[in-house]
């Protein structure tokens, strides 16, 4: 299946020229799609799953620099190659600062230079994607890490306040996890953490977010969820974790339980630190009550 490239350019002739250049590529073949205006181009770039984008500087009353900034602000990571008829170094620098990965002057483009630029942008895009993955992911479990969790939590608190859409922060802690490490070794503890992470992820919706925020501590953001719905969702997490003993190798299977605390934004708190504290207080209430259970902020 051909990988798709999006050209955003208000000049039909440029689309035809670019298409002919694609036909002359010596290496990989791509499917070229075209958008001729800012609004449609931005919408397609954000949702089209394109391999890369060729973006013209001049797009009627708006320009490509503005489009790059808007796309990046909305989380777009598609590699962008900037096209312009201008040779000014200021345009070159502005495009790269905005988020473009390469820059080509239209009058100087050849099939070879365009193919080389696309290969460079795709390679650099892959590298940056790997770096983003490392920066946001817990290596042991594959879940979001604490830094990315904090960022998402702040965003969701702001969204809950602005649009009055509640969400629930659930904090989970493995019961007596130190005993597992002490009695069976850290590889066994790692196996338990990976399995618990998988079970939690499988028990929530795709719109929810799961993170490992400490040694044996996890957090879940349950989107668009009320306090009543949170109680059922949190209880489901307790049950799915304790459902089957976890294999840690050499025929050893360990029963594992979790304690869970939850708090609702903006009902229980209107900023991130206070919401974490409310959920944490509920978590410790669950532990004091005997562990292997759920407690919600009051």
The whole-angstrom separation of Cα 260 and Cα 194 is 18
Catalytic residue among 115, 148, 156, 216: 216
CA distances from 182 to 158, 176, 178, 179, 185 (A): 42, 10, 6, 5, 6
Counting Cα atoms < 13 Å in the Cβ hemisphere of 164 gives: 0
The runs of H, that is alpha helices, within 88-242 are 89-98, 111-136, 146-163, 177-184, 186-203, 227-242
- State the angle between helix axes of 146-163 and 272-288 in degrees (0 to 180), rounded to the nearest 10: 110
Q: Is 33 a catalytic residue?
A: no
* Cis peptide bond upstream of 238, omega within 30: no
| Active-site residue set | 216
């Amino acid at each position: 299946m051909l990988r798709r490239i999006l050209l955003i350019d208000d000049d039909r002739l440029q689309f035809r020229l670019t298409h002919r250049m694609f036909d002359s590529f010596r290496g990989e073949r791509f499917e070229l799609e075209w958008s001729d205006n800012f609004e449609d181009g931005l919408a397609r770039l954000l949702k089209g799953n394109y391999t890369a984008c060729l973006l013209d500087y001049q797009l009627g009353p708006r320009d490509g620099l503005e489009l790059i900034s808007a796309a990046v602000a909305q989380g777009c990571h598609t590699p962008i190659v900037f096209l312009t008829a201008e040779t000014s170094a200021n345009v070159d620098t502005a495009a790269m600062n905005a988020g473009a990965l390469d820059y080509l002057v239209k009058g100087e483009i050849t099939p070879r230079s365009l193919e080389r630029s696309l290969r460079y942008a795709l390679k650099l895009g892959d590298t940056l994607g790997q770096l983003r993955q490392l920066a946001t992911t817990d290596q042991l479990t594959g879940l979001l890490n604490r830094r990315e969790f904090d960022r998402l939590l702040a965003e969701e608190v702001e969204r809950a306040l602005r649009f009055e859409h509640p969400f629930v922060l659930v904090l989970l802690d493995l019961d007596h996890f130190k005993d597992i490490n002490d009695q069976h070794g850290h590889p066994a503890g790692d196996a338990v953490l990976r399995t618990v992470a998988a079970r939690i992820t499988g028990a929530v919706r795709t719109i929810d977010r799961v993170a490992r925020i400490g040694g044996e501590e996890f957090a879940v953001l349950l989107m668009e969820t009320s306090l009543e719905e949170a109680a059922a969702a949190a209880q489901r997490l307790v049950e799915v974790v304790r459902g089957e003993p976890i294999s840690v190798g050499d025929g050893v299977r360990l029963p594992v339980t979790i304690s869970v605390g939850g708090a609702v934004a903006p009902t229980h708190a209107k900023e991130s630190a206070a919401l974490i504290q409310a959920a944490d207080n509920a978590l410790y209430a669950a532990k004091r009550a005997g562990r292997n259970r759920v407690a919600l902020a009051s």
